[in-house]
Amino acid sequence: MKINRPDWDSYFMDIARIVSSRSTCIRRNVGALIVKDKRILSTGYNGAPINLKHCIDTGCMRERLKIASGERHELCRGLHAEQNAIIQAAYHGVSINGADIYSTHLPCSICMKMIINAGIAKVLYADGYPDELSHEFILESAIVVQKIDFEKKTALDKTVQDSEFPAWPGQVAVRSVNQHVKVKNFKLRSKKA
């Protein structure tokens, strides 16, 4: 009898998706999972700090102010999933240096800075996020970024271009599906006045 087991990336991303179901954000439900040596170290989802009212109770400040996704992250009462996962690890004294983070979405620029400084080695994500500064940090850092694409998962030999990453003209990241990708430094084209 053959048992159909998910590979590790699918397993951890599925858990990140379940974690995202705890989100209290009105705009986007995000879950994150920090993993090292195939062991879960910490989880996080986006929502308000402990003992503060959630956006599902107060309404979304960003919606009221008509702030676009990927902009003005400081104007939100919630923490992002990646931030919460890193904070939970620190709170419980768990080292995450050299670990991987699975996130349902590509981390924003604030989360990416925290991920880099926490010593996380690899970011695995399922859905893109429109934050150009985050993409610049990825290109400048030594961090490995991998998009988990479940729909194309069976075509392991096929090379695909992710239309969401990077998201600015003149930059192309080509990768093999489910293969580790080291994004190299590219020079950004300056905008003409």
Structural domains in the chain? 8-46+80-176 (3.40.140.10)
| 116-159 pLDDT, tens digit each | 999 999 999 999 988 889 999 999 998 999 999 865 443 233 33
| 158-175 pLDDT, tens digit each | 333 444 444 433 333 433
The pLDDT, as a whole number, for residue 176 is: 34
Judge whether 71 counts as a catalytic residue: no
Distance (Å, whole) CA 188 – CA 175? 20
The first and second tokens of residue 166, run together, are 């990077």
Neighbours of 22 (CB within 10 A): 15
Choice among 82, 132, 151, 164 that is catalytic: 82
Distance (Å, whole) CA 122 – CA 54? 30
